[in-house]
Structure 1
């Protein structure tokens, strides 16, 4: 059972997301609260995942994100947004957000995105990828981050591409016939060589460096 806290300033949105997720059968919404209550409720319930509105009137979603990432055992945090071009996106990525989910995501896709995030995968809406890759992170073929791709071994490149397609460590291990521990070592090496702080940023570098062809992760 994946335990989730939903944080949004609109009660209708909180209720709707909770109903959709609870109907999946393997996701439990342990709390659905406004931004002002978020840190306290997450500390109380210790969920696996937090779906956090990026813009809220009572408290900045980025402030909540930083506070949650400061926990000794922080939950996975994915940002909820109605915007496909939001100046907060890059800051949220650098602050440790594991992904972005647009609020107009189809209900039948939402539960699967939550499962992917909880398993350590990467979730970015295609619109968000375009926003970040084309501008906010400043990645490019000649950028310092993308240039680090050349330092990856062939195996690390393979793992990086699978990360960019949202696979968890367990899924990657099964795909390339390695132990989960070995995959974790590869992921750690990849993040170090690319000089990024998260799987999401690594996935974006892979896209910008051309490792994914013309497709989007």
Structure 2
């Protein structure tokens, strides 16, 4: 079972996501909390994935994300947002968030996104604004396109699948190579792009036009 914790200040959002995720046979919402008790429930329940609201009145998601990243074995974190604050989102990217989900995510897509996160992939809603991508990269299409040109053909193939949210294991299966080989390619991509996470690399791919919709799960 994939264990999920939901952190949001709105009870309706917590209950809605809990209902949608618990309907999947391989996903269990082990806790749901507001920002005040977030770290307590995460420490207690040790989820695999945390869905974290970025803007909460008593304790905001950015502070909680920072605390989560300091844990010895931090869970994967995806930000829940309405995309009304691009500056927070750009900061969350730099803090190591593995995904961004809008609160009206399609119920049929939500379990797929959670599975991708739990497997080491990424999840980025198709509704993510261009401003977020621009704000994170701080560079234009030409810079991203130039970075893409530094990749080998195999690295481009790995990046394309990484951008679809596929885990190393799934990429290895699709490309008929070992998982270790995929890990080596991913490490090389991150180094060439000067980034630290798969999601950041996927944003470069999006900005450079590697795929039309590289983040979407179809």
User: TM-score normalised to the size of structure 1?
Assistant: 0.93
1:32 & 1:135 partners in 2: Cα distance? Answer: 31
Q: Structure 1, unaligned stretches of length 5 or more?
A: none
Measured after TM superposition, the shift of residue 84 of structure 1 is 5.6
Measured after TM superposition, the shift of residue 188 of structure 1 is 1.2
1:116 & 1:171 partners in 2: Cα distance? Answer: 10
Q: Does 1:210 align with 2:209?
A: yes
1:32 & 1:184 partners in 2: Cα distance? Answer: 33
User: Do the aligned residues in 2 keep the contact of 1:80 with 1:100 (CA within 8 Å)?
Assistant: yes
SS in 2 for 1:20: helix
User: TM-score normalised to the size of structure 2?
Assistant: 0.92
What is the CA deviation profile of residues 144-198 of structure 1, one whole-angstrom value per residue up to 9, with x for unaligned ones?
A: x653322222111110111111111111001110111111111111111111111
Q: Does 1:23 align with 2:51?
A: no
Equivalent residue runs for 1:1-217 within 5 Å: 1-83=1-83, 86-143=86-143, 147-212=146-211, 214-217=212-215
Measured after TM superposition, the shift of residue 85 of structure 1 is 5.4
Name whichever of 132-141 and 1-10 sits farther off.
Answer: 132-141
Q: Structure 2, unaligned stretches of length 5 or more?
A: none
The RMSD of aligned alpha carbons is 1.6
User: Do the aligned residues in 2 keep the contact of 1:126 with 1:216 (CA within 8 Å)?
Assistant: no
Name whichever of 169-178 and 130-139 sits farther off.
Answer: 130-139
1:123 & 1:153 partners in 2: Cα distance? Answer: 25
